[in-house]
């Protein structure tokens, strides 16, 4: 699909079904502050988490066409669901490095656990994919993995209820089994969830390692750019960030300003169905 | 778009952004038990409630093309958001009778209120449209109207939490202002909400008239079929119901069995983007 782009000042393409991927962009900005970034949020078709595998792959292919047009040098699938369902199906179609958020999260969790009991939370689709379990067991078959879908977390985040008793009640419900099973490490397998980290920590207790898949993904991206020799030089022009969405760009701006703690004067709306 | 279809045994087309419209279909089945019905749920692109006007109109046009192919004799827009945003924009493009759920709900509420204070709850987009207020004020400029978006209600319904303390907590939050303002009539302006009627009644109190827009719409539909002389004859073959969705048809079957209290052996998946 895309040809390798060896220009180190070409942007990194980051996308998500909606706005949660901005938490991954935030970590990339922290880890690689020189890099130009293009963000696309598929807000017209959010959420992916309740959709089928075929639909998700079809959507991701359209987004990769858009990223190709923007001549990105690397692509981050900043969406737990799309990473779980579509990444392997589309990987061979792109010529630039492409990475998702699942594998970095899995590696971090398997390194962090002491008691061998790992919890995974995500959308319905992510959890149903079984990918976390199979990757964790690939690393260590002895690991005990408990997964739980938390379908209300995305709407709660998108409605701004990051600290709210409704969110706490939902979190207690979703996390009770993971607490009972005494997991010492919890993969927040959806990029929206870091915005609920306060509530999740409160419910799970201080002793549990919370794995932010965005932090881990940014580290892996840094290493890949380095290995490929396409890291942007610090002497180049300052980083430029561009934002696109398939619907309601003003919502992306508003949400992005809280999530990224920076001003987002504009986001462009694109017709992703035409890609 | 569609030519007038005068065959009285042609189906009625009913559609929604997702599964909520099944509550309207249920009322049509009760009111017009002979009629054949085609249901389409745009489950790949649900929810419409957080999307922009242009996007919603575009989606509805695609669905009308699909309904045209199915040679329906009348169309019910069983979605509060699509009725508020798209119905007037597309009405001139169809040759068969088309009706939404907003006007029937408005007429019922204005007839039911005693104290002239009416509450409206719906999705973010429906409430933002201001259509309920303007139609209610068109009937009676003295009416006092209080509107409130309840964005968590659709995900709560689709997750099956019809009777749950999380839903009660969300309902108390959303409805507090309407209670304070002493509304005696509440329009449930989203077709998902009848499934939360128990909780909404509990929070609002027994004295409040809850307007189920599906019930009202089925009555208007009955009158229109009658006026046009296209009511199906009771001596024709028994009613046939067909179900389509743009994603995960098994989810429609499962949800539909609870909502319609009937067995739904199959639903077909269609690529609505191609219409």
Q: Residue range A160-178: average pLDDT?
A: 96
- Give the active site residues of B: 79, 190
Average pLDDT over residues B114-137: 95
Q: Which of the residue ranges A236-240, B72-76, B183-187 would you say has the lowest mean pLDDT?
A: A236-240
Contact check, Cβ <8 Å, A52/B165: no
Does the domain formed by B103-213 have CATH 3.40.50.300?
no
Distance CA A135, CA B232 (A): 57
Measured between CB atoms, does A165 come within 8 Å of chain B?
A: yes
Q: Are A17 and A225 in contact (CB under 8 A)?
A: no
Write down the catalytic residue from A143, A190, A218, A225. Answer: A190
The residues, any chain, with a CB within 8 Å of residue A107's CB and separated by 6 or more, are A139, A216
Q: Do residue B158 and residue A55 have CB atoms under 8 angstroms apart?
A: no
A150 is catalytic: no
Which residues in chain B touch residue A156, judged by CB atoms under 8 angstroms apart?
Answer: 152
List the single residue in A159, A169, A173 with the smallest CB-CB distance to B151. A159
Indicate yes or no: CB of A165 within 8 angstroms of CB of B169: yes
User: Taking 80 as the threshold, does the pLDDT of residue B30 lie above it?
Assistant: yes
Q: If you ran DSSP here, which 8-state letter would residue A61 be given?
A: H
Q: Which residue of B has its CA nearest to A156?
A: B152
Q: Distance, in angstroms, between B44 CA and closest chain A CA?
A: 6
pLDDT tens-place string over residues A17-76: 999 999 999 999 999 999 999 999 999 888 888 788 888 999 999 999 999 999 999 999
Inter-chain CB proximity A155 and B155 less than 8 Å:
yes
What number is the average pLDDT over the span A159-175?
95
Is the confidence at residue A131, as pLDDT, over 70? yes
Check CB contact of B273 with chain A, cutoff 8 Å: yes
What is the pLDDT confidence band of residue A145, given thresholds at 50, 70 and 90? very high
Quick check: A6 pLDDT over 90? no
| Residue B109 in this model has a pLDDT that exceeds 80 | yes
How is chain A split into domains, by residue range?
A: 12-100+215-274, 103-213
User: What's domain B12-100+215-274's architecture?
Assistant: 3-Layer(aba) Sandwich (3.40)
A4-18, A26-40, A183-197, B204-218: lowest mean pLDDT where? Answer: A4-18
Catalytic option among A79, A96, A120, A121? A79
Q: Is A158 on the interface with B (CB under 8 A)?
A: yes
B50 contacts A44? CB cut-off 8 A: no
Residue in A51, A159, A173 closest to B247 by CB: A51
User: Residue A1 — pLDDT band, cuts 50, 70, 90?
Assistant: very low
Give the model's pLDDT for residue B187.
Answer: 98
């Amino acid at each position: 699909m895309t040809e390798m782009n060896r220009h180190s000042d070409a942007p990194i393409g980051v996308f998500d079904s909606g706005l949660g991927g901005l938490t991954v962009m935030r970590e990339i900005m922290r880890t690689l502050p020189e890099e130009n970034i293009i963000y696309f949020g598929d807000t017209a078709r959010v959420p992916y988490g309740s959709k089928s595998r075929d639909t998700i792959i079809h959507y991701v292919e359209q987004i990769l066409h858009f990223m190709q047009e923007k001549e990105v040098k690397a692509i981050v699938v900043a969406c737990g669901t799309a990473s779980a369902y579509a990444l392997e199906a589309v990987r061979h179609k792109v010529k630039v490095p492409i990475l998702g958020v699942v594998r970095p999260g899995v590696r971090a969790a398997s390194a962090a656990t002491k008691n061998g009991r790992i919890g995974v939370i995500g959308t319905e689709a992510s959890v149903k994919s079984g990918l976390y379990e199979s990757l964790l067991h690939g690393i260590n078959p002895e690991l005990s993995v408990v997964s739980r879908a938390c379908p209300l977390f995305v709407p709660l985040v998108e409605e701004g209820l990051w600290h709210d008793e409704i969110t706490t009640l939902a979190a207690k419900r979703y996390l009770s089994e993971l607490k009972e099973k005494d997991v010492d490490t919890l993969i927040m397998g959806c990029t929206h969830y870091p915005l609920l980290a306060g509530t999740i920590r409160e419910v799970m207790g201080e002793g549990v390692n919370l794995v932010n898949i965005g932090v881990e993904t940014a580290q892996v991206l840094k290493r890949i750019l380095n290995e490929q020799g396409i890291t942007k030089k610090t002497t180049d022009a300052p980083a430029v960030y561009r934002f696109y969405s398939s619907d309601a760009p003003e919502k992306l701006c508003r949400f992005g300003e809280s999530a990224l703690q920076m001003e987002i004067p504009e986001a462009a709306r694109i017709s992703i169905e035409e890609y």
